[in-house]
Chain A
Amino acid sequence: MKKIISLALLLVCSFQVTAEDIVVIGNIDNTLNILTKRQVIAIFMGRTRKFSNGIRALPLDEASLRNEFYERLTHRSISQIDAYWARLTFSGSAPLPPVRQDQQSIITEVKKAKGKIAYIKKNQLDESQVKLLFSIESEESK
């Protein structure tokens, strides 16, 4: 049974990896235009609560992309990321980013508040609505 589950997971993951690049998006009114990989990691790993321009950073997770995003961003397995976040969450030092179930609600939410930051598939990106801050693909090809 476990094997089947792992196989299924593997299949799903490999499809995602080949499917699409992931982009990190922010609110259009956020004065930032670009984030470095280090800054993105700091925000999504709970190491900083604000952007370099002083705006409070409010990261969001997207359920179906979460594993792939963290693994590609940090090059660590999702179980390592989960154990890391377990320490932060259950020691009260940083709140886990709230999880949203689909990309559309992520985009809607990022549009609403200045400090929101999230990730979506590149093909969902509409730069008239949200701001592109970082792309995992472009970082990796550097």
Chain B
Amino acid sequence: MHRNKKNDNHCLSYLISYVSLSILALATTVGSTAIADDNYPEWSIKGFGSIGFARSDNETIGFYRDRTSTQEVKKSLEITTDSRLGLQLDVDINDSFHFTTQFVVRDHAGDFFEQNLDWAFLKWNPLVVEDYEIRVGRLGVDAFLLSDYRNVGYAYPWIRPPHEFYANIPLTHFDGADIKKSFYLENGELTLKLGGGYTFTKLSEYFQDFDLEGPVLVANIIYTTGEWRFRAGYGHIWQSKNLESSLFSRIRGVLTNPATNFLIPNLNQFLPLTNINDTHLQFMSLGTAYDDGTWLVHAEASYLDEEGQQIINADVASAYLSIGRRFSDVTLYSRYGIAHSFEKKTKALDINPLLVGTPNEPAIREINQQIIDGFNGQAIKQQSLSIGLRWDFYQKMAFKAEWTHYWLGKNGKFSSLWQHDPNENTPHHVNLVSFGIDFIF
């Protein structure tokens, strides 16, 4: 396991700043109790959770809920993937100040306390300039339809957020500030939000031990009416940290080794492809949700643009459409999802002409192919069709069951959103069955 001292240090400093923020909030609370309305401070602790089970019909590749998951789903029933427990503390300090913190116990790579602390922020609604909201602290990356509640199964019809769309976007929080302006219009509410700060998200070991880390900018426009929600979101991360895992030092070793450069001349020209610091990651999304009490529709499309490198991922377009209908306490739904990478293919180099025709030629060609596969193989080519149900069998509790068929065959030897044995080809079809209970309290 690769651990980085620097990370530990900054986790610690973040934790210290959250504790200070909480103490500040509490201090303000105590201080404000004497002011006018004696209903302040108003406290509440609320929670949400899921107990979920999943299994697939395939042992070759393992299903991951997203890139931060450490436990994959294969043929045996797996409870870790979708189970989670969230706790949220809200404190209305007074009319204008509000403190919120949310901690979600779940399977997440990296430090359990630091990575699972999704929010801890102080919110200020200035009374003098109405309809503005300013938040400081640890905030959600609110660039997609489900961004801020992807862990709250009770709030959506499915077992988990659509895989093609959300598995590739592991970013849930950043440390910084945002500002929101609301316009209350005749038929709905329009909000504009702009936020910025620093993000550190630990991805699972399987995904090459690389951390999303660097300055982040998030913006969105949301229009909400009684039945519709429309939104456009944008996010930008300046990746500031390079790949530092042992795997990547091995790859760099191979690329710079004089022996391999003799077998495959100019192999060291690929070295820059292994540097991901100072690259940009941009995501743009459009989404809509409709709910008239009987019909529920969710649709979202995004484009993830990765500049400067390709070893982690190519540009990816993804989208999904889900249509559900309620029959009293039961909701039936069907969902289609697609993710497709636009690869910037790296061309294979020729092997040393002196070695052509020698008994070693096949072995060298094999190595050459593996290197190129490594650069070109981080694609996501996936489609899926799901059918499922949600049954609200008791107040604040819902039972869910879902069957999903994935088409993966075009990924060659890799498929980015799955745990994969590199010696095996990706199976063409995988079925995943999931069921569980979501609740709030």
Q: Could you tell me which A residues sit within 8 Å of B by CB distance?
A: 2, 5, 41, 47-50, 54, 56, 74-80, 82-84, 86-87, 89-93, 95-96, 98, 109, 112-113
The answer to whether A87 and B46 have CB atoms under 8 Å apart is no
- Known contacts: A92-B148, A98-B44. The answer to whether A83 contacts B154 by CB under 8 A is yes
Q: Which residues of B contact A109 (CB under 8 A)?
A: 39
The answer to whether B44 and A96 have CB atoms under 8 Å apart is yes
Interface size for B (C-beta < 8 A) is: 49
Q: Which residues of B contact A87 (CB under 8 A)?
A: 149, 152, 155-156
Tally the A-B contacts, defined by beta carbons under 8 Å.
Answer: 94
B189, closest chain A residue (CB): A47
What distance in Å separates the Cβ of A22 from its nearest Cβ neighbour in chain B?
A: 19
B135, closest chain A residue (CB): A92
Q: Complex Cα distance A30/B142, Å?
A: 35
Q: Complex Cα distance A113/B94, Å?
A: 13
Q: Which residues of B contact A49 (CB under 8 A)?
A: 125, 131, 182
Q: Which residues of B contact A54 (CB under 8 A)?
A: 130
Q: Complex Cα distance A47/B190, Å?
A: 10
Q: Which residues of A contact B293 (CB under 8 A)?
A: 74-76, 80
The answer to whether A91 and B395 have CB atoms under 8 Å apart is no
Stretch from B16-24, B85-93, B307-315 contacting the other chain: B85-93
Q: Which residues of A contact B366 (CB under 8 A)?
A: none
The answer to whether B42 and A96 have CB atoms under 8 Å apart is no
CB < 8 Å: which of B98, B102, B393 contacts A95?
B98
The answer to whether B392 and A95 have CB atoms under 8 Å apart is no
Q: Which residues of A contact B100 (CB under 8 A)?
A: 92
CB < 8 Å: which of B37, B147, B184, B396 contacts A48?
B184
CB < 8 Å: which of B121, B149, B392, B396 contacts A90?
B149
Whether B440 sits at the interface, judged by CB under 8 Å, is yes
Whether B435 sits at the interface, judged by CB under 8 Å, is no
4 nearest CB pairs, A to B: A91-B148, A79-B392, A87-B155, A86-B155
Q: Which residues of A contact B140 (CB under 8 A)?
A: 91-92
CB < 8 Å: which of B149, B226, B291, B329 contacts A79?
B329
Q: Which residues of A contact B64 (CB under 8 A)?
A: none
Q: Mark B106-134, 1 if CB is under 8 A from A, else 0.
A: 00000000000001010101010011000
Q: List 23 A-B contacts (CB under 8 A).
A: A2-B393, A2-B394, A5-B394, A48-B184, A49-B125, A50-B130, A75-B293, A77-B329, A78-B395, A79-B396, A83-B398, A86-B152, A86-B440, A87-B152, A90-B102, A90-B149, A91-B140, A92-B102, A95-B90, A95-B98, A98-B39, A98-B42, A98-B44
Q: Mark B154-169, 1 if CB is under 8 A from A, else 0.
A: 1110000000000000
Q: Which residues of A contact B121 (CB under 8 A)?
A: 92
- Known contacts: A79-B395, A90-B152. The answer to whether A113 contacts B98 by CB under 8 A is no
- Known contacts: A82-B396, A90-B86, A90-B155. The answer to whether A112 contacts B37 by CB under 8 A is yes
The answer to whether A93 and B148 have CB atoms under 8 Å apart is yes
What distance in Å separates the Cβ of A73 from its nearest Cβ neighbour in chain B?
A: 12
Whether B95 sits at the interface, judged by CB under 8 Å, is yes
Q: Which residues of A contact B127 (CB under 8 A)?
A: 56
